[in-house]
Homo-oligomer: A and B are copies of this chain.
């Protein structure tokens, strides 16, 4: 397998990007194509033992930063590492693309310039894989589409369900619609209409779901408007951090607890690992003509490596073709 890795993506590029890519090449044996400023890449590679690792370098003369405006940068820097890496997927030179770059720019470039939408897809959906205890839950959309129309939301359910089956080995995934209550009349206007569409979708749709039941693992795929999904995901992450902070403060507030906290360090290390989003990697963008995983700018090497693992699973599972087939049989029209 050949995976194009944007070497200029993360906030601290190219160190986490290239380190994670080398770890992935070592562990999985896939060819990693490092895309970005060639000098910059070679300089960083000199710090590593690359030996006989299956690596290639493709020069990209332009660089989109986190400060760049997404759609402006998408137009004004047509040879950015993001453009070049995604174009390699579109042309078949790579099987998948992984980037920790400017999410807005990546969405624009992949959707409108290079990979483009799969026929029948109303809006590609950014899809987070959330680890809760031993379970993995799919959240889609996690932020690409605010003010999502009901038909988009229903399609997110279809694409999320296909991803669960083909990349996560979870056929017939239970799909829930994130809402402010589980009763049928809960939700806002868009979600109530999406609820009706999802009921008729042929999916294993379980109806509205509240955050509490999401965390109990009552559904495998959580569907949401991108604004709501983003607030939900960020609240989960922020609350996990907050709880760790509260516990840390309380553990040093009396001598007995302090000793307890010291002894319980192995447990807290495991907790930190359980809630570490980097253990999972990045977010697949579903609904475009190719596998692309978008990681957080703050990603470390572990997150980059795990994003590459997600890309492999999506390629192996034939996610893109499965979405194509599912949407063809699902009889969705191509009108927006």
Interface residues of A, Cβ cutoff 8 Å to B: 132-133, 143, 146-147, 178-180, 187-189, 191, 210-212, 214-215, 225-228, 230-232, 234-247, 249-251, 253-254, 256-257, 259-268, 270-271, 274-275
Contact = CB atoms under 8 A, between A and B. Distances in A.
B265 A260 contact: yes
Contacts of A225: 188
Given A147-B189, A189-B147, A178 B231 contact: yes
Given A188-B227, A227-B180, A275-B246, A238 B261 contact: no
A197 to B, nearest CB: 18
A253 to B, nearest CB: 7
B270 A264 contact: no
Contact of A232 (B235, B256, B262): B235
10 contacts: A133-B245, A146-B187, A146-B189, A147-B189, A178-B231, A235-B239, A246-B275, A253-B267, A253-B270, A256-B266
A266 B238 contact: no
A188 B146 contact: yes
Contacts of A147: 188-189
A236 B214 CA distance: 12
Nearest to A250: B267
Q: Per DSSP, are chain A's interface residues mostly helix, strand or loop, or mixed?
A: helix
B274 A246 contact: yes
Nearest to A148: B188
B238 A214 contact: yes
Contacts of A180: 143, 146, 226-227, 230-231, 234
Contact of A250 (B212, B240, B270): B270
A234 B210 contact: yes
Contacts of A264: 251, 256-257, 259-261, 264
Contacts of A187: 146, 227
A262 to B, nearest CB: 7
A226 B133 CA distance: 29
Given A146-B187, A188-B147, A238 B263 contact: no
Contact of A242 (B132, B179, B250, B267): B132
B259 A263 contact: yes
Given A187-B227, A236-B235, A246 B271 contact: yes
Given A231-B231, A267-B251, A246 B133 contact: yes
Contact of A237 (B212, B246, B249): B212
Which of A180, A251, A256 gathers most chain B CB within 10 Å?
A180
B263 A256 contact: yes
B254 A260 contact: no
A234 B213 CA distance: 10
A195 to B, nearest CB: 13
Count chain B CB atoms within 10 A of each CB in A178, A187, A242 and give the residue with the most: A242
A256 B264 CA distance: 6
Contacts of A262: 260
B259 A271 contact: no
A246 B244 CA distance: 11
Contacts of A251: 264, 267
A271 B247 contact: yes
A178 B231 CA distance: 8
